[in-house]
Amino acid sequence: MNKGFFITFEGGEACGKSTQIKMLKEYIQNLPNKEKFLFVREPGGTPLTEEIRKLILNYEIDKPLPMTELLLFCATRVENVEKLVLPALNNGKVVIADRFYDSTIAYQGMARNIMNSEDILQLTKKIIGNLKPDLTFYLKISPEEAFKRKKNMKEGLDRIEKEGLEFHKAVSKGYDFISSIEKERFYIIDATKSPDEIFDEILKVLKSKIPDYFL
């Protein structure tokens, strides 16, 4: 079986990540080989992990402790990797994930300060082996600009999105750190550009990296 290609989208809140994934999904739906692509998200993706997602993001009655939050994210990752990501990659598909372990480094590592980045990477390796993205799009935006955007968001914010500015500054530092030490797979995008400009940039990169999938 041919090994597929693993793509992740990362970035802080209100960076436009979800918009770009939606645009990409709509574009791929018009390709003749659309069945060669799989979209997943963290947390979520399976019936079990969607339930865990609710606990992580929206459970206000008894908020999870920071370590509990970290382990819940790890639990969803194990489920997604074993049940969705690896089977698709082993069948030669392109897997496109809305967040992966870089988010854990930025949010639970740098912002929550639960454990350092190296320990999170070691934990990740224990639970999912050596799997890592082939390409990561990092939509970079300042926390200050993100907060301006959040004021205009119509949908309700989840528990993590509601965190204060200092928390999201730490998240941004986390992303800057991991992208600086893994430059070979990170593609950094200025998220202050228009959605169409960003999408054109993403599509250009994808057609260059995996041309056989974008015929």
Q: Is 60 helix (H, G, I), strand (E, B) or coil?
A: coil
pLDDT confidence of residue 156: 66
Q: Is the pLDDT of residue 137 over 80?
A: yes
pLDDT confidence of residue 123: 94
Q: How many CB atoms lie within 10 A of CB 35?
A: 9
Q: Is the pLDDT of residue 42 over 50?
A: yes
Tell me the pTM. 0.94
Q: Is the pLDDT of residue 1 over 60?
A: no
In the chain, the DSSP E strands lie at 5-10, 37-41, 94-98, 135-140, 186-190
The string of pLDDT tens digits covering residues 148-180 is 887 776 566 788 888 889 999 999 999 999 999
Asked if 73 and 56 count as a contact pair (C-beta separation under 8 A), the reply is: yes
The string of pLDDT tens digits covering residues 78-121 is 999 999 999 999 999 999 999 999 999 999 999 999 999 899 99
> Hey, what are 57's tokens?
């993001």
The string of pLDDT tens digits covering residues 49-62 is 999 998 888 767 78
pLDDT confidence of residue 106: 96
**Edge-to-edge strand ranges of the sheet holding 135-140:** 37-41, 94-98, 5-10, 135-140, 186-190
Domains of the chain: 5-210 (3.40.50.300)
Helix (H) or strand (E) holding 72: helix 66-80
